[in-house]
Amino acid sequence: MAAHRQALLFVAVVFAVASLASAMEWKVGDAGGWRAQFNKTGWADGKTFRVGDTLRFMYPKDNHTVIQVGREDFAACNVQTNNKLGAWYSGNDVVPLDKPGKMWFFCSVPGHCDNGMKLVIDVVGTGAAPAPAPAPAPVEPASPPSSAPTMGYTVGGAVAVAGAVLASVLAF
Ligand SMILES: *[C@@H]1O[C@H](CO)[C@@H](O)[C@H](O)[C@H]1NC(C)=O
Ligand SMILES: *[C@@H]1O[C@H](CO)[C@@H](O)[C@H](O)[C@H]1NC(C)=O
Ligand SMILES: [Cu+2]
């Protein structure tokens, strides 16, 4: 029984660490792909997109495009814009989410954006933690600099999750 419990714990910890460390690939629109009137699907609702994740846009390549633009061009469906932040045409396009903040996409085929073929997402940093409170002035001499804070947070988060999993495993 103890061995069984240990095996369970090991698996749980591996999953907890992997879920915090590994990047997600989001298939835009799931099985339906990137398609007309995409905004009606509510596909992005409730999803947390993180730096390091990717979007995969799948669509018939003769029928649609994927264009990344700024807020104004997105709002106006300005498909003629000269200010593209990215453009993809293959029908199977992988878009890296490489920094936090909003990303706006539309299809540039005439009429499609006007009919709602558009997507906005909000990418959060890997830590996804609320901004830390300003550190109080050190009383002791400063300690040597530690490793990168983002990494520290991720590892700390993994340990916290692993601890929670351990508690739940031991409870049954
Ligand atoms: C793509 O567009 C072509 C021509 O406009 C149309 O005949 C075809 O049905 C479209 N394909 C899909 C999957 O919508
Ligand atoms: C989708 O976009 C169309 C055209 O811009 C708009 O009329 C409609 O209200 C939007 N629907 C949703 C659910 O956002
Ligand atoms: Cu389109």
CA of 39 to the centre of ligand 1 (A): 20
- Widest CA span of the chain, in angstroms? 66
pTM given for the model: 0.68
What angle in degrees, to the nearest 10, is found between the helix axes of 2-21 and 149-171? 150
Q: What pLDDT, on the 0 to 100 scale, is given for residue 151?
A: 38
Contact 44, 60 (CB under 8 A): no
Q: What token pair was written down for 61? A: 């390549």
pLDDT, tens digit, 9 for 90 and up, residues 52-100: 999 999 999 999 999 999 999 999 999 999 999 999 999 999 999 999 9
Q: Which residues line ligand 1 (CB under 6 A)?
A: 60, 62-63
- Shortest-distance atom of ligand 2 to CA 40: 13
| Residue-level pLDDT at 19 | 56
Q: How far apart are CA 1 and CA 93, in angstroms?
A: 48
Ligand 2, atom 1: closest residue by C-alpha: 116
Of all ligands present, the nearest one to the C-alpha of 61 is 1
CA of 102 to the centre of ligand 3 (A): 21
Q: Give per-residue pLDDT as tens, 2-33.
A: 666 666 444 454 445 555 567 999 999 999 99
CATH hierarchy code of domain 23-124: 2.60.40.420
Nearest residue to 88 via CA among 118, 61, 54: 61
Average pLDDT over residues 100-105: 98
